[in-house]
Chains A and B, each alone.
Chain A
Amino acid sequence: MRYSALSVFLNGLRGNSGWAPAWRQPQPKPHYDVIIVGGGGHGLSTAYYLAKTFGITNVAVLEKGYLGSGNIGRNTTIIRSNYLLPGNNPFYELSMKLWEGLEQDFNFNAMVSQRGVLNLFHSDAQRDAYTRRGNAMRLHGVDAELLDRQAVQAKLPFLDFNNARFPIMGGLLQPRGGTVRHDAVAWGYARGADSHGVDIITHCEVTGIRREEGRVVGVETTKGFIGCGKLALAAAGNSTVVADMAGLRLPIESHVLQAFVSEGLKPFIDCVVTFGAGHFYVSQSDKGGLVFGGDIDGYNSYAQRGNLATVEHVAEAGVAMIPSLTRVRYLRTWGGIMDMSMDGSPIIDRTHIDNLYLNAGWCYGGFKATPASGYCYAHLIARNEPHETARQMRLDRFQRGYQMDEKGVGAQPNLH
């Protein structure tokens, strides 16, 4: 059923009784050409592009919880392509371009809102680093603007320009950055993939990977064995748990990142702003809540919950940036499990095990990458060669000495 203003109108007249399920709830078939482990954003978008763009429709997505129960439903909804390194920048820009046509493509309003992403800087060194970054973006045709203090003040006069411990000097703005209604991305991809014949099987946990003569032939699940031609992991924070089933060690640690939302407010801030002198970034949802976050808690964790010290630090940084926030209230806090890679950049690659593919290491940048990740992963699975924008996102780059370290902090996941 196609969604449109007309369909909303006609169904409204009929008491909304005519809407069909957005996707089927099928039982698993005995064998699929491709099984994707993980029914989150990346798994679902991979299935969608496999079916729609690359014509591989005999695909199952296996999700151990409910659809979209991982990081796709617990992030801070920001999209941007303000990356520095040549191995990352074209990939995230591909993602941005896909975002820009996504809703019409999968016929689901995911509220892609290009409200602008502004990164503040507070020192000459930060300004210089953002200049380098902005120029890297410009060289690839990505929009970037360097704002001085006056321009930032004109845009966001309620930031602390009078009494800040670390005065705001300016900011790097990506006008095309913004926010997207995160759950809707999962639902839109699920509905789109389903309409192309992909089986989305929820509450089905992978418990083992079956190999014959070394190559992967299927997975053991809580719903029985399911055979496959190719097995594609897209398990985010649980990547190493699943990879372990195939005896594969990964350059990844799982860390908890908290996110927060305030009570609903009338329009307060109209773009995404990142503080440069502490860990805080904020945007406002269409519903009115300020959506904000900070740094990861800093320790390996599989629990989707964080601790108070980080919550307090985020509040302090938030008030340092916007003093009047003191009377705004946190409504809810939650945590997601990040697959932190050893250089802060992701991996989309084949593994040394035949038929086993890996999509992991998204750190806390996975949401914005959802479309390109799915597209490039589908490309890799379908054609057995990396998409041109993901050519450097190789698993062996650490071994070969070609890390992609945007922050330059080295093999220490909790610093990325």
Chain B
Amino acid sequence: MASLITCPHCGQRPKEEFTIKGDASLTRPAPDAGPDVWYDYVYLRSNPKGLHKEYWHHSSGCRRWLIVERDTVTHKVHSVTDAALTKLGGAA
């Protein structure tokens, strides 16, 4: 993990304040994308050994969903951004 996550809004906070959802590289398909695409989205995971983008929620803090880029072998956190701001193309 990380013992600490630097929330772009709240600063460095302990892991216990966060809820982890998982793979943030997935994009929710269009409703009519077809069963294979939906199966892939809901159930299949790249599960990389190395860099992994994932959703962390600052549940006991600002309650923002963050995209944490983290190494699954070293547990080093490379970046943390606000998911919504990132998706909207803004800075975070």
Contacts and interface: CB of A to CB of B under 8 A. Distances in A.
Contacts, number: 76
Contacts of A300: 22-23, 47, 52, 54, 72
Interface string B36-71: 100110111111010010100000000000000010
A252 B49 CA distance: 13
B1 to A, nearest CB: 5
A250 B46 CA distance: 8
A297 B43 contact: no
Interface residues of B, number: 27
A307 B43 CA distance: 27
Per DSSP, chain B at the interface is: mixed
Contact of A249 (B1, B20, B40, B73): B40
A250 B42 contact: no
Contacts of A412: 21-22
**Max chain A CB contacts within 10 Å: which of B14, B21, B43?**
B43
A249 B14 contact: no
A402 interface: no
Interface in A385-416: 398-399, 411-414
Contacts of B46: 240, 249
13 contacts: A240-B45, A250-B47, A253-B47, A298-B20, A299-B70, A300-B47, A301-B1, A301-B75, A302-B49, A303-B72, A309-B3, A398-B39, A411-B42
A252 B47 contact: yes
A303 B39 contact: no
A208 interface: no
Contacts of B75: 301, 303
B45 A251 contact: yes
Contact of B43 (A241, A251, A301, A308): A251
Contact of A414 (B15, B20, B73): B20
Contacts of B1: 297-299, 301, 307
A318 to B, nearest CB: 18
Contacts of B89: none
Contact of A302 (B16, B21, B40, B72): B72
A107 B8 CA distance: 59
Interface of A: 238, 240-241, 249-254, 297-303, 307-309, 342, 398-399, 411-414
Given A297-B1, A301-B72, A301-B75, A241 B20 contact: no
Contacts of A240: 45-47
Contact of A413 (B22, B39, B72): B22
Contacts of A399: 35-36, 39, 43
Contact of A308 (B3, B36, B49, B70): B3
B86 interface: no
B12 interface: no
**Max chain B CB contacts within 10 Å: which of A299, A301, A307, A309?**
A299
Contacts of A251: 43-45
Nearest to A241: B49
- Top 8 A-B pairs, shortest CB-CB distance: A240-B47, A251-B43, A398-B43, A249-B44, A299-B1, A399-B39, A342-B43, A302-B49
B52 A250 contact: no
Contacts of B43: 251, 342, 398-399, 411
A300 B20 CA distance: 10
Contacts of A254: 47, 49, 72
A147 B64 CA distance: 44
A298 B21 CA distance: 9
B79 interface: no
A303 B42 CA distance: 25
A385 to B, nearest CB: 24
B80 to A, nearest CB: 14
Nearest to B14: A309
Nearest to A256: B1
Nearest to B36: A399
A249 B45 CA distance: 7
**Max chain A CB contacts within 10 Å: which of B22, B47, B70, B72?**
B47
